[in-house]
Amino acid sequence: MKLRRWMTAGAVAVATVAALNTVPAAANRPYDPTAQSLAALGLRHGLQVGTAVDMAALNDTSDPQYRRLTTSEFSSVTAENAMKWESLEPTRGAYDWAAADQLVEFAKRNRQSVRGHVLVWHNQLPAWLTSGVADGSISRQELRELLRRHITTVVSRYKGKIWQWDVVNEAVSDPWDTPSTLHYKGFWAQNLGPGYIADAFRWARAADPKALLFYNDYNIEAFGSGNPADDKPQFVHDMVKGLLAQGVPIDGVGSQGHLGTQYGNYDTLQVTAALKKFAALGVATAFTEVDVRSEMTEAVQAGNSAEINPRLQASAANFSVLMKACLAVRSCLSYTVWGFSDKHSWVPGWFNDPPQGMATIYDESYQPKRAYHELKSDLIFAGPPYVLPRIAPKPRR
Ligand code: XIL
C-alpha cells in the first residue's frame, strides 16, 4: 500500500501489466524476449497487435502456416473482407453470416479481440444497392433506412463481441480528387449528404453500448499545412471535433497506415504529434491497416539485391515509425497490419501500374522480414518513462 502511494498511476499500471504478462524464466534459461510473439510483447504495453484475416487463407488446409501465425503472433483480428456489406448481404434481404461468424468464433477461441470492419464505406457495396440507387428504384429515403437497418443488424449480431468498430471508412476526399478542396466524397455523401456520418455513429451506439466506435481513414498519419482545405488529417480532426460537439458517440480515429517506400516518408515524431493531436480531442487512436509497399521493378522481380535491400530496409523503417509513435501515445490502443505475409497481401492485386508488392512483415514463404524484427525490437526496447500502458476511453453515450 505504502508502495502504491508514491507510485504514479502509470507506474502502478506498468507494474500490474508486467506482473500479468511476465513469463517466468526457467531457472537455467534467461528470459528471451526475442522468442516472444508480437502479441505477447504488445501486451507488456497494453497494446493489441492485430492482423487483417483472409478467410480463404485461414480455411486453406494446404496452407497451415497462415492459421498458425494468425493464432500465435496476434492478439487482435480484423476481417479483411468478410464483414463488408457486399459479403454479408450479397442478395437483398438474405444475410450470409458464415464467414464473419467464423472469424468472431476463431477470435474467441484464441482469446483475440476483434476490430469490426466496416459498417459504412463507399466500396464493396452489394450490386443490388448501388444499382438500385443508380436506376432510381431505391429512393434517398429508402437508402437511409437501408443503412440504418444494416448497421443495426450487423452491430446487434455481434453485440459485446467487437472491441472496436470501424463505423465510417474513408469519407473524406484526397487532394488529387476533383474538386481538390477537401470534401466529403463518395456514394454516401453524394446520396445522403454528410449527415450520414453522425447518423451512423448514433445507430451503431444504439445497437452496442460497449464497442469503441471509430472513424477510419488513410493518409492521416501526419499533419501537413494545418489547413483543412488541403490537409486531410486536419479535415478529419475538425470533423471529429464537430461530431463531438454535437454529442455524436465517436470514440476513436483509426489511421490505416498504408505507406509506400517510394513516397516521402514520415518520421516518428511527426506521427507521434499527429496521434497526440487526435488524442487531444479526447478520442482513442489506432493504426488499423498497416502495410508498406514498394515498386516491383524488373530488377526487384529478378532478385537483384541492390534493389531489394533498400526496399526491405525502408519498409521496416516505416513499420517501425508507426509502431514507435503508437507506443509513445497512450491513447493508441492497437496496431494492426493489413495481412502479415506477402503470400496473402492485397497490394499486388490492387497496385499494378507500376506493379507494387513486398508490403508485409513476412515474405511469401512465411519467413519474417526485417520489418517483423523491427516491430519486435520496438516492443522490446520500449518502456517507461516515455512509453506507458494504454489508456482506453469509456465508450461515449
Ligand atoms: C481491401 C482488401 O484487402 C482487398 O482484399 C479487397 O479486394 C479490397 O479491399 N482500405 C480499407 C480496406 O479500409 O477495407 C481495404 O481492403 C484496403 C483499403
Question: pLDDT tens digit string along 58-69?
Answer: 999 999 999 999
Residue 215: strand pairing partners: 168, 253
Q: Is 89 in the pocket of ligand 1 (CB under 6 A)?
A: no
Percent of the chain as helix, strand, coil, to the nearest 5: 45, 15, 40
Where the chain has pLDDT below 70, the residues are 1-27
Q: What is the DSSP letter of 192?
A: H
pLDDT digits (tens, 9 = 90+) for 254-311: 999 999 999 978 999 999 999 999 999 999 999 999 999 999 999 999 999 999 999 9
Is 170 a catalytic site residue? yes
319 in contact with ligand 1, CB cutoff 6 A: no
- What is the predicted pLDDT for the residue at 18? 47
Determine if the peptide bond prior to 354 is cis (ω within 30°).
yes
Among residues 80, 221, 289, 374, which one is catalytic? 289
CA 87 to ligand 1 center in whole angstroms: 12
- Could you tell me if the CB of 81 is within 6 A of ligand 1? yes
Interior angle at CA 285, CA 276 and CA 373, nearest 5 = 95
Chain centre distance of CA 140: 31
Please tell me the distance between residue 346's alpha carbon and the centre of ligand 1 in angstroms: 7
295 catalytic residue (yes or no): no
- Rounded to whole angstroms, the Cα distance separating 216 from 202 reads 16
346 lines ligand 1 (CB under 6 A): yes
Which position among 170, 295, 307, 364 bears the catalytic label?
Answer: 170
- Are 306 and 367 spatial neighbours (Cβ–Cβ below 8 Å)? no
57 close to 63: Cβ distance less than 8 angstroms: yes
Q: What is the model's pLDDT at position 31?
A: 86
Phi first, then psi, for residue 51 (nearest 5°) are: -140, 150
- Ligand 1 centroid to Cα of residue 124, in Å, is 9
- Determine the Cα–Cα distance for residues 322 and 184; give it in Å rounded to an integer: 26
Q: How far is CA 312 from CA 16, 143, 344, 355, in A?
A: 37, 46, 18, 16
> Residue 22 has what pLDDT?
53
Report yes or no: 14 and 46 within 8 Å, Cβ to Cβ.
no
For ligand 1, say whether the CB of 289 is within 6 Å of any of its atoms. Answer: yes
pTM: 0.93
